[in-house]
Chain A
């Protein structure tokens, strides 16, 4: 099933259930505007467009930009195609850099608490194996209770090498061990799960910096990729998270999880627009194969699917 189909099924399910349920809210659009004749359609549509973008969590700044782009070019065809093209331009501009040739390639997975980092690492391992490569899974979340056990279950499910830390030990040391073990066994990729941390905690962000330095000592150029896991339900705080993790962990891509709910994770698109960090993968379900490479066209279409 393609991403689009998955998203469509998810969104349709939602749309059917929710349609009309939140319409009870007072609708404050002034009726007076209806009296202005010809302008009504365009303004109303711009308002509708603004609502859709705001509701998808794109945020005020990105929404304003898109609405203005639509207003400027309202002449050439319908608004949806203008905005669609504009969004695609932004998302396509942030093309991920080609994967470096290093061996093993070190992929660091970071994010705030509860976004789905551990699950994402399990699923990334599966994607790596599907591509014919052998991963090492490294459990560097030495803080959260049972995080290591949780990842171990995933490692067993995909039958990947697993390097674990003792609770409370230094995560950087575990990362070093995992990379050394990957080198010794000739593995292609080392996937590192880190503890969830709020981006405002400077000491915990400093710990990430240490992990990066230690990884760089174990293999040239590591970490080669740093993926920020964002929960699709996150609002404007996502931008603040992305900024902080970009600054202290050099994030190279975003994984947008839990897209199978009603949230659309529009803030990820706003992050791409603002910071140039590409979305790399999306999580769309509960199964291990429900992590898919990101496709801008399918995402943008799904974004508008239920709204219009």
Chain B
């Protein structure tokens, strides 16, 4: 996510870093590039102008230009200003004292409110909180049906009053029902509406009075352009919003609209939706995003993703195996399965420091099908072969190639990569033992799949 914006910014900084000494002119050139990058990322042009001016004011300061490391200083200024722009929100949905906690989801047509409602319910469930969803979209054909089907698939409970129940009564009924059934949160999905449709905004006001939500989340499409601040601003003025949920972040949208909304409307981005699976939904962390935009990677998110799919026991069991140097093809297969569960590879690459630009440089290499082929090869081995790769001779290789629909060359390459991987892992294992002695603290377990050889 935010891919192209960070690529643009990274190339700007690469250019800046080449200059040993900065002059006001070279700062100006860099600023012009940053301005272009931000405008092309759909950051509102007024926000861009203010941003550039603030960076310029600080960057052309004599103490910066004459310092020993002027370019690093400029990068630091841009980082500070981006952080200031994005705010220091923590993301997520903190519990309130309200019982049940009522959350209203609002926004324009097609922003993704209904999908977000179900994704949020599932996220809450992972936090051990139970949500009841209700649709108040009595206008769009089959909108209520859509929530019911989506929620049904995800195992989320939906409050379903009689057809013909009014908007406010539907929501109030859900709150009542949640109270008696012991749900923690009520998620109220609303009809998409234009911020200038007076009657429909009035309906939201009524709804707000009826259920007294503790949180009003504005759902916004990440692909939105300059209009983002007008619509979000107007929703905020008439109804009041507490946070923004940014949807469809899995495309190549640069998501600059988010920056605009946060800085102009003054509400934080709380969640990001970045995929068609119900679990593709995460709290938003401005700090990590800034690091990623500037190409500093985002190890925290990577570790969190890894923790989601690999239990701690599994990780320490693996670590032990690596130390003893009995990492087998079967272990590699388990790792690949875990990697697959973590999501598309090119997105994982963005999280690794220094790897951000790599995915785009070798699009052919990050072929998700390569992963499938690697797994097919391992699947075509006998359990004994998976445990002891040394026994895989020529005739076994031919059989494996036939069984997996690949070639002997591919099998050879995989085995070579596996041996290489074992060698690397052994030195990592030894290294972590050495450090343990020195610092009295164990090195973090290797994130699963970091040595992934499937390319």
Q: Which residues from chain A sit less than 8 Å from chain B, CB to CB?
A: 10, 13-14, 17-18, 21-22, 25-26, 28, 51, 54-57, 59-60, 112-116, 144-147, 149-150, 152-154, 198-200, 231-238, 240-241, 258, 260-264, 267
Contact = CB atoms under 8 A, between A and B. Distances in A.
Given A28-B53, A113-B248, A149-B145, A235 B226 contact: yes
A18 B141 contact: no
24 contacts: A26-B46, A26-B49, A51-B45, A54-B39, A59-B40, A60-B39, A146-B143, A146-B146, A149-B141, A152-B142, A153-B142, A198-B248, A231-B110, A231-B221, A234-B221, A235-B228, A235-B253, A236-B40, A237-B223, A237-B253, A258-B109, A258-B194, A261-B194, A263-B230
B47 interface: yes
Given A17-B196, A21-B233, A233-B231, 18 more contacts: A10-B196, A14-B196, A18-B230, A55-B45, A55-B226, A60-B36, A113-B112, A114-B111, A146-B142, A146-B146, A146-B149, A147-B142, A199-B252, A234-B223, A237-B253, A237-B254, A261-B108, A263-B226
A10 to B, nearest CB: 8
Given A18-B234, A150-B140, A234-B224, A60 B196 contact: no
Contact of A261 (B149, B196, B254): B196
Nearest to A122: B141
Contact of A114 (B109, B252, B254): B109
B225 interface: yes
B150 interface: yes
B17 interface: no
The 7 closest A-B CB pairs, nearest first, are A235-B225, A114-B110, A235-B42, A153-B141, A145-B149, A263-B227, A146-B146
Contacts of B147: 145
Nearest to A18: B230
Nearest to B221: A114
B131 interface: no
A265 to B, nearest CB: 9
A147 B147 CA distance: 11
Given A145-B146, A154-B141, A115 B42 contact: no
Contacts of A56: 226
Contacts of A146: 142-143, 145-146, 148-149
Contact of A22 (B223, B229, B248, B253): B229
A200 B251 contact: yes
Interface residues of B, number: 53
Contact of B264 (A25, A154, A262): A25
Interface string B33-74: 000100111100111011011000000000000000000000
B145 A116 contact: no
Interface of A is mostly: loop
Given A17-B234, A115-B110, A231-B221, A57 B251 contact: no
Given A146-B146, A236-B225, A260-B194, A22 B41 contact: no
B250 interface: yes
B289 interface: no
Nearest to A229: B110
B390 to A, nearest CB: 38
Interface string B175-198: 000000000000000000011100
A238 B229 CA distance: 18
A192 to B, nearest CB: 18
B105 to A, nearest CB: 14
Interface in B328-362: none
A262 B194 CA distance: 9
Contacts of A21: 233, 237
A264 B153 CA distance: 37
Of B149, B231, B251, most buried by chain A (CB within 10 Å of CB) is B251
A95 B264 CA distance: 40
Contact of B50 (A28, A55, A147, A149): A28
A154 B49 CA distance: 45
Contacts of B228: 233, 235
A149 B142 CA distance: 6
A235 B231 contact: no
B146 A150 contact: yes
Nearest to B140: A150
Interface in B189-231: 194-196, 221, 223-231
Contacts of B112: 113-114
Contact of B227 (A13, A236, A237, A261): A261
A199 B251 contact: yes
B426 to A, nearest CB: 38
Contacts of B142: 146-147, 149-150, 152-153
B256 interface: yes
B121 interface: no
Nearest to A143: B276
Interface string B99-135: 0000000001111100000000000000000000000
Contacts of A198: 248, 250-251
A55 B147 CA distance: 35
B3 to A, nearest CB: 10
Given A56-B226, A261-B227, A150 B250 contact: no
